[in-house]
Structure 1
Amino acid sequence: MASNTCHPDEFSQEKANQDRTASLENACEVDFATPGLSNDVFGQEDDHDIKYKTLPWQFTAVLMITEIISNGMLSLPSSLDAVGIVPGVIVIAFLGAFATFTAWLQIEFKLRHPEVHNMGDAGYILFGPIGREILGAGTIMFAVCATGSQILAGQLALTVLSDGKLCTLAFAGVFSIAVAVCSFPRTLNNLSRLSLAGGISIITAGIVAVVGAGASPIDAGNIVIARASDFTSAFFSITNPVFAYAGHWMFFILISEMKHPQDAMKAAWTLQIVATSLYIVFAIVTYWYVGKGVASPSFLSLSPLWSKISFGLAIPNLVIAGSLNIHTAAKLVFVRLFRRSRHIHSHTFAGWSVWTLLILLGNVVAFIFAVGIPIFNYLVGIAASLFAAWYTYGLSGAFWLHDTYHFKGGYHGGFKRRIMFIASVLTVLAGGFICVGGLYATVYSLREASEAGELLPPFQC
């Protein structure tokens, strides 16, 4: 792993590392001009027109909730049906705790490396230039796929609300335009105002859906306590709760615009408590009242009236979550192009032109992917397995191992901290297991769907 850290913190203050710290500081004088290695992403902003570091931790939590809870919650009841309610709830709770741990590892890494703006920058520190390109490209790819997934969810919601009276392709187009419009604010603090409505939207929709399931039960009580199934089916179902927590890919970007980055863990705790509590309650109650065969998204299993109400309430969240995904992907490219230039902080023609182009391009690609690729849902699963498994889980352990090695005395420093060393190694291995298992299950399911003729043609009305 390549080390290009230019700001040793308390880690480097230990007596055993004074020589290494001095060498790193000397190296910083050479490498400081390299993109990705500045001391802070946006620097001093007092005299700038556009100020990025204005996001309070409360709105950071709202942004996290809006992006993560969205589609993840609606697929969890079907996961309980696939593996059984007991193992399903255990997995959801465990992954919530695990995601909190990996969030802490990432936040600590970001605080030690304020020059890191995204996973690409983190990849540069760990693996050098190749790591930056791979992890940066993966972030953009995953963001576009996630936005496409939101577009399809919005298309479905509008179709349900209209009783299918219009072409679904038109609904996807309308929804994409709404996502694009909401993506334009240059700062996350401005976007967070919209996200507040999005967070309230999905939480309200979940509560109403639970009430609707209880008011009009389908097959109440007909549930599975634990279900035996083959590895592929079980793992494919488990990927729903795994990726229901897959929002860590944008944490670095969010923290970079926080007013007080040291408060980031408060936002992460708020996210995980809200998400895990809502996931468990929603999944259990919905599954109990709907029974076996609950659909994904679960709103489709409700009575027509309650389904329409729930989908209608969820639409603001679907729009804002999609716009947040594209915004962060565009911000990654924008900062990469203009870091340390006046186009970042000033209302220049070049800056706004490039920003507009990035937003429009991201939304157009997401729309084309969503409605023009018959295997898009499987493509989302592949992207999640390849990248989200590492961004949310595996790389977090690598971050701790990297900084402990370089600032705590090499391998000896890691072995001295046995619990954290073992936990970090297991985290890396967990990321690899989720990646490989998710890829296998997704590709296997894609092959089965193709052989059964279940793949729809592109641009279907």
Structure 2
Amino acid sequence: MNTDDINKAQPTSPEYDAENLEDLKPDNVVDAFGNEEGAEVKYKTLAWWQCGMLMISESVSLGVLSLPAAVASLGIVPSIILIVGLGIIATYTGYVISQFRMRYPHIQNLADAGEILFGWFGRELFGLGQILFSIFIMGSHILTFAVMMNTLTDHGTCSIVFSVIGMIICMVCSLPRTMKNITWISILSFLSIFAAVMVTMIGVGVQGHGQGPMVQLTVKTGLVPAFTAVTNIVFAYCAHIAFFGLISEMKDPREFPKALCMLQVFEIVLYCVAAMIIYHYVGSDVASPALTSAGPVLKKVAYGIAIPTIVGAGVVNGHIGLKYIYFRLFHKTGLMHRRDAMAIGSWIAIGVVCWVIALIIAESIPVFSDLLSLISSLFASWFSYGLGGVYWMHLNWGQMFSSPRKIALTILNAGIIVMGATLCGLGLYVSGKAIHDDSGSSVWTCRNTA
């Protein structure tokens, strides 16, 4: 759909109010996948709870494993403020994304939103960002898979071999083309990470090491470790890039706020509880990923339980990027809704290329917290935060100072844009320095990454 078609499809009344988007029914305009009646492969099949489970699986995975170490770098008080505060802001920006999607129901991915904001340049920029973000996330899961296998086998073989095995497993699990078929992977992933975190919390609690002066309310630290910790917390709220794609595959997109609340309430509570308990018992020596802190035996148990999320959440995140490429190449043809060799072969080829690139990233940035920090700075700073303010500005252009409430919301969203820019700029500096300092001779080697 080109820009002229978009404009024709939207309400032209000057009384239009972005706060009453529920009045715009999704079937008033052409949506992302069109009429699927009689199609072999149907995409608009998600119930709101399935969407919520996919979001939890995508967001509550590797992010939670970096939080205890972030608390160790910042102290308890700043960490609680950041985890809760960033979670609340992420809830708001997620709701703005749903408003933007209701206003423009043809949106299926971030590139579609970029075209609305900035024309063809926005489409290409945002599309490239979505692909790179997904591939970097895929790389973080390959890296974690290698750490997990090194832990379980006591470095049984070369770490690169473990990374290749992880890539192949994830690639095979990425074969389903629709989100509904990924739902069961996401449910298993969620149960896996939840159980692994519980085992870790119980394990460190029973061992009881690290109590006393090691646990601090605030920590005096330098810019690089402090802001690396901030970006690791930001990474824990990086699900927003998937929201457009998930909404487009819902039976009723107007139910998305239910799924959003399901995600945000769960993850804020889990993040606070898990981060504080593990830090309380382990102290300043807590590892990242946190499962490593569970002790010699229990850390193997925790990693074993976490296998479904290490694989499954990578598959869910990777699916977002693969679907964008597939949709971009074939949405104007009937190929997307077919099950023939050409359709399936194209999907597999896209998956192979993206997972191989993810492997290269995983081996090139082999330090877990550094890779998460880079991902947060480059992508999550904008996709989860800054762009939420931009979407709101676009929806309310010309009405931003029409009432005291609008003025307050304008200030809020301008602040969110500034926050995104700060996270991006300063985060790139500290993550780049951390990668330079930490990687050294560990890039593309067989050394034990555990």
TM-score (norm 1): 0.89
2:416 alignment partner AA: T
Deviation at 1:213, TM superposition (A): 1.0
Instruction: Specify the alignment match of 2:362 in structure 1.
Output: 370
1:456 aligns with 2:447: no
Instruction: Specify the alignment match of 2:350 in structure 1.
Output: 358
Instruction: Specify the alignment match of 1:336 in structure 2.
Output: 328
Deviation at 1:326, TM superposition (A): 1.9
Distance 2:156 2:15 in 1: 72
Distance 1:260 1:183 in 2: 25
Residues 136, 218 of structure 1: CA spacing in aligned structure 2 closer, same or farther, 3 A cutoff?
same
Distance 1:281 1:341 in 2: 48
Instruction: Specify the alignment match of 1:151 in structure 2.
Output: 142
2:444 alignment partner AA: P
Instruction: Specify the alignment match of 1:118 in structure 2.
Output: 109
Distance 2:339 2:265 in 1: 39
1:322 alignment partner AA: G
Contact (CA 8 Å) 1:197, 1:317: kept in 2 or not?
yes
Alignment of 1:14-413 (within 5 A): 14-15=14-15, 39-221=30-212, 222-372=214-364, 378=370, 381-405=373-397, 409=398, 413=402
Mind listing any 5+ residue stretches in structure 2 that lack a counterpart? 18-28
Deviation at 1:239, TM superposition (A): 1.0
Mind listing any 5+ residue stretches in structure 1 that lack a counterpart? 18-37
Work out which of the residue numbers 422, 425, 446 in structure 2 matches 1:433: 422
Contact (CA 8 Å) 2:235, 2:372: kept in 1 or not?
no
1:444 aligns with 2:433: yes
Distance 1:352 1:418 in 2: 50
Deviation at 1:412, TM superposition (A): 5.1
Distance 1:387 1:148 in 2: 14
Distance 1:87 1:48 in 2: 52
Deviation at 1:378, TM superposition (A): 4.5
Secondary structure of the 2:285 match is: coil
Contact (CA 8 Å) 1:372, 1:459: kept in 2 or not?
no
Residues 180, 6 of structure 1: CA spacing in aligned structure 2 closer, same or farther, 3 A cutoff?
farther
Of 292-301 and 279-288, the range deviating more from structure 2: 292-301
Deviation at 1:373, TM superposition (A): 5.5
Secondary structure of the 2:354 match is: helix
Calculate percent identity across the aligned residue pairs: 35
Deviation at 1:353, TM superposition (A): 1.8
Secondary structure of the 2:287 match is: coil
1:238 alignment partner AA: V
Distance 2:314 2:401 in 1: 45
Of 107-116 and 228-237, the range deviating more from structure 2: 228-237
Work out which of the residue numbers 404, 410, 413 in structure 2 matches 1:424: 413
Residues 433, 372 of structure 1: CA spacing in aligned structure 2 closer, same or farther, 3 A cutoff?
closer
* Corresponding residue pairs, total: 432
Deviation at 1:444, TM superposition (A): 2.5
Of 161-170 and 115-124, the range deviating more from structure 2: 161-170
Contact (CA 8 Å) 1:404, 1:413: kept in 2 or not?
no
Deviation at 1:166, TM superposition (A): 2.3
Distance 1:417 1:148 in 2: 41
Deviation at 1:265, TM superposition (A): 0.9
Deviation at 1:209, TM superposition (A): 1.1
Residues 277, 411 of structure 1: CA spacing in aligned structure 2 closer, same or farther, 3 A cutoff?
closer
Secondary structure of the 1:49 match is: coil
2:119 alignment partner AA: G
